[in-house]
Structure 1
Amino acid sequence: MTPEPEKATVEIERLRRRVAELEAARLEQLQAVARTEDLLEHSETRFRNVFDYSNDAILLLDPDLDEILDVNGRGCRLFGYTSRELQALPMSTLFPGDMARLQAFALAVVEQGYGWIDEVGCQTRTGDAFAAEISASEVPLTPERTCILVLLRDITEHKAAEAEIRASLQEKEVLLREIHHRVKNNLQIVTSLFDLQSSRSDDDDVKAMLRECRNRVRSMSVIHESLYRAHDLNRIDFRRYVTQLTEELLRSFGAANRVALQIDMDDVVLDVDQAIPCGLIVNELLSNALKYAYPGDGQGRVIVAVDVGEELKLSVSDDGVGLPADLDVTQSPSLGLRLVHSLVGQLQGRIDVRRSPGTVFEVSFPLRVVSD
């Protein structure tokens, strides 16, 4: 074979191989494109199913143009339109009473990227109104255009359940107030019986005992009276309670003109379980001070103070003659002091006594947080 034909044969073979390589590369590219298209189709189908089968209504909105770009099946059923009908409607058709609020909300979503409204008014095709909560986020459509993806949930049943719960709670609150009112009235009858019995006795010791019993019952009656009048049935304004209680004790002992009373505490809120034993403790300690600290017609000052830190510290102090040196307050035969120790135990607290000058009883216990 001459050199020229041989050279041509080699070139033809090289070109044939090159064409085969290009065909293989093209086939591989086509297969890659087909795989990519399959993946995109699968992804689009998957996310379309998520969109269409969501339990919440999903709307794609363009607030600048007042357009509904897309809506899922739940949104169509909720508003009573077809998807095509909704896409032909302005947004104001669905939210006739809240458009100004929604437009401000849309601006906030565009600025922050997301947002939430707890309740917005909506209207169906038939004119029926319902309440919905909205969660939204900004979604880019093109480099130059963004829209808002809105998840809308009908909260009509939720609001109805809330209203039912509120009505039930209100009914229970009315009943509880009535119970406190009746307990207060019954306790007042008991105090009146003590007063009546005391007026018929000529024995000073019996009168003193009846007065002590009356004051103890009255201290509990004041709590129920406060609860009956309170806005919150679990929150006792302890300063107000102590002020009323101590003023009544001063009148009961006829000591208002010779013993000055000082209430030294900020506004303190206690629950019922702590307020009642605290009130009884104040009743017993103040009664002891009024009976024993100022013999005869002695004058002085009694201070009831509360300091709130990690614990609540309640103190009752007087500048009177002080406790007898041989008195062990932990083993006292006095019913009042035994009652105080029992109440301190109920509060899981402790009691300290300082004897000079005068007498200071200080009760400390963990303060239970009262929710608003």
Structure 2
Amino acid sequence: MREGSLSEPSRCTCRSVFGISRIKASGYRLMVRSSSRGWVASSLAPFSPNVEATTLCYYAFGVFLCLGRSRYRARLGRTTSGGVLHMPEGTRRSKSQGLAGQDASQDAAGSPETEAEIQKRLLSSIIELSSSAIFAKDLEGRYVVANAACADIFSLPAEMVIGRTDAELVPPDTAKAFSDTDAMAISSGRVQELIESLAVGEEKRSYLVRKAPWRDASGAIVGSVGISRDITAVVRAEAEVNRNRERLERLVDILQHPAKTAQEFLDFALAQAIALTESAIGYIYRYDEPRWEFVLNSWSKGVMDACTVMNPSTRYELDKTGIWGDAVRERRSIVVNDFEAPDSRRKGYPRGHVPLRRFMTVPVFRDGTIVGVVGLANKEADYDPTDVLQVSLLMDVVWKVTEQKQNEERIRELLEEKELLLKEVHHRVKNNMNTILSLLSLQAGAMKDRAAIEALGDMESRVRSMSVLYDKLYRSDHFQSLSIADYLSSLVDEIVAVFPERVRLTVEKRIDDFALEIAKIQPLGILIGELLTNAMKYAFAGREEGSILVAASMKDGTATVVVRDDGVGLPEEPGPGSSGGFGLLLVESLASQMGGTLSIDREGGTRVALEFPI
């Protein structure tokens, strides 16, 4: 209720609306009762002598002039879709009589109204002005009270609702649902709150309804009363939130799916899109825009089992496709909710094709280019714009991940090709080194000069260390590093085997297993080969037996390699740093190349230790 002073009322307003003179209206308070929050005292400004042709608002409202207990009331109706104001029956008056026609505190005979009558009139006004539907039914289910909002639900005037039952106003299944909830309120004797649905025109609307038993003065139940509020917007918003949540959940499932290939990933994504839209079947086609060609990528499970088309194709040219190709031709999503209805765009499908009832096809874009088309079909309900949006958003992310997986697959293929090539290279290098070893051995056998024979033998030992390395690389799955335990153990066995006739030798290997990069393991192999060859040739001269220890360990990023024998010991000259002795000079050079330090102990044989950073 809003109030304002009616200090300068027009004669037209006073006489036409309230049925009193302008003079009499002066000093009265103006009160406007309305369900529209925008109404204020100035709402009477649009009034004119032709009140019935004046569009005021789309809500019922009441206008009062008040002075003490005297009230002059104009009860206005609701505008029609054409904008013409219609007055409820019984409120229209001639210009001379006005809309109210009398003091609101007196009846037609001039008798004062009782307080109960005033309260009843007030309650009727409140009910009529409510934006919620308010109604009462007798025990037979006939409407006894129905305000304007209630009548609007049935698209009928209120007087045409009164006296009718739900069975006469709505479809049978809806009428039964209404009657059941009426009966629930009556039988329980308590307030019942529930959500009811009703088709209004071509759309389904939802209402939050509170129903209770209607009792007479004695307390006996004579019917039911209720109030209903339209919550369609809320229900739709909640449904949209739920669908968005479901889409995000399915997107998370897709992104976390442990697919090994892009094909497996797209198959899973299609299954999720079908579930998201509550479809029965679906497909994904890749599209080559420069060639105008579709290539089948994925069909949903069960489709090919149900399809009896002879020799189905997996490639289609754009100009030979029907309505499903329009997604590319028109560069937009296509929805058909009645596939049986005539459509000039549809070319039909071959005999044995899975029957279609409803269908939607969505193009997938990447940088403005169509790269794929997703089709879904046979949802129980109609496809709507939300389905299109959900699938578009879903497949946009899916396609990006698919491209990433395809790139990963390509990188994996390239790496496999590289590894295969490296294996072939290492194999050829190893074979070439074996050829060199054979040539060196043949050359040494043909030589008479002992110094030349020993020089060729030393060279053979150095080549052998590299041959072992390439043999290990050829058999390894990794070419950047190698297990030092595997490599050194084989290298020691290879070199010792070259000197079978020398002495009864005990070889001990204490080699920890750690990886070493190829850049360091290659010079290390030559270095150890040099030390072992030197020990086998000179350490045990004049003896029948001896022992050799080869050890390797790693601690705090530093590797330590030791070669020790219990032979005659290395002479002082030449030694590390001297100008003589090619073998030791080579060892020093290799240690420097590895960034390591070399130490030699001649007590009780020879012990050479190398430390270098890993």
User: TM-score, normalised to structure 2's length?
Assistant: 0.37
The match for 1:346 is 593
> Taking structure 1 as reference, are residues 201 and 256 closer, same or farther at Cα in structure 2, changes over 3 Å only?
closer
> Taking structure 1 as reference, are residues 62 and 219 closer, same or farther at Cα in structure 2, changes over 3 Å only?
closer
* Aligned counterpart in structure 1 of residue 375 of structure 2, from 97, 103, 125: 125
* Aligned counterpart in structure 2 of residue 89 of structure 1, from 267, 270, 278: 278
Instruction: Provide the C-alpha distance between the structure 2 equivalents of 1:320 and 1:346, rounded to a whole number of angstroms.
Output: 28
> Taking structure 1 as reference, are residues 91 and 312 closer, same or farther at Cα in structure 2, changes over 3 Å only?
farther
> Taking structure 1 as reference, are residues 93 and 347 closer, same or farther at Cα in structure 2, changes over 3 Å only?
same
- CA positional deviation for 1:186: 0.9
Instruction: Provide the C-alpha distance between the structure 1 equivalents of 2:548 and 2:278, rounded to a whole number of angstroms.
Output: 77
* Aligned counterpart in structure 1 of residue 438 of structure 2, from 192, 196, 203: 192
- CA positional deviation for 1:201: 1.4
Higher normalized helix content (fraction of residues):
1
The match for 1:105 is none
Q: Which has the higher contact order (CA 8 A, sep 6+)?
A: 1
Quick check: 1:255–1:290 contact (8 Å CA) kept in 2?
no
The match for 2:352 is none
The match for 1:312 is 559
- CA positional deviation for 1:203: 2.2
Where 1:315 maps in the other structure, the secondary structure is strand
Where 2:513 maps in the other structure, the secondary structure is coil
The match for 1:370 is none
> Taking structure 1 as reference, are residues 326 and 274 closer, same or farther at Cα in structure 2, changes over 3 Å only?
closer
User: TM-score, normalised to structure 1's length?
Assistant: 0.60
Runs of 4+ in 1 over 4 A off after TM superposition: 85-88, 90-94
> Taking structure 1 as reference, are residues 330 and 298 closer, same or farther at Cα in structure 2, changes over 3 Å only?
farther
* Aligned counterpart in structure 2 of residue 61 of structure 1, from 231, 243, 246: 246
The match for 1:291 is 537
- CA positional deviation for 1:87: 7.1
Where 1:125 maps in the other structure, the secondary structure is strand
Instruction: Provide the C-alpha distance between the structure 1 equivalents of 2:537 and 2:275, rounded to a whole number of angstroms.
Output: 84
Instruction: Provide the C-alpha distance between the structure 1 equivalents of 2:413 and 2:577, rounded to a whole number of angstroms.
Output: 50
> Taking structure 1 as reference, are residues 332 and 264 closer, same or farther at Cα in structure 2, changes over 3 Å only?
farther
The match for 1:247 is 493
Quick check: 2:281–2:376 contact (8 Å CA) kept in 1?
no
The match for 2:464 is 218
Task: State the structure with more CA Rg.
Answer: 2
How many corresponding residue pairs?
A: 253
Pairwise mapping of residues 1-372 of structure 1 onto structure 2 (< 5 A)?
59-61=244-246, 89=278, 124-126=374-376, 153-154=398-399, 155-254=401-500, 257-310=503-556, 311-331=558-578, 333-367=580-614
Structure 2 segments unaligned to the other structure (5+ residues): 1-36, 39-236, 251-268, 284-299, 302-372, 378-393
- CA positional deviation for 1:124: 4.5
> Taking structure 1 as reference, are residues 91 and 274 closer, same or farther at Cα in structure 2, changes over 3 Å only?
farther
Structure 1 segments unaligned to the other structure (5+ residues): 1-25, 28-47, 52-57, 67-77, 98-122, 128-148, 368-372
Alignment deviations for residues 54-105 of structure 1 (CA, whole Å, 9 cap, x no partner): xxxx9322999x9xxxxxxxxxxx97xx9xx9876279989x88xxxxxxxx
Alignment deviations for residues 261-298 of structure 1 (CA, whole Å, 9 cap, x no partner): 11111212212111101101100111111122111244
> Taking structure 1 as reference, are residues 331 and 309 closer, same or farther at Cα in structure 2, changes over 3 Å only?
same
- CA positional deviation for 1:245: 1.6
- Write the letter of the residue equivalent to 1:316: V
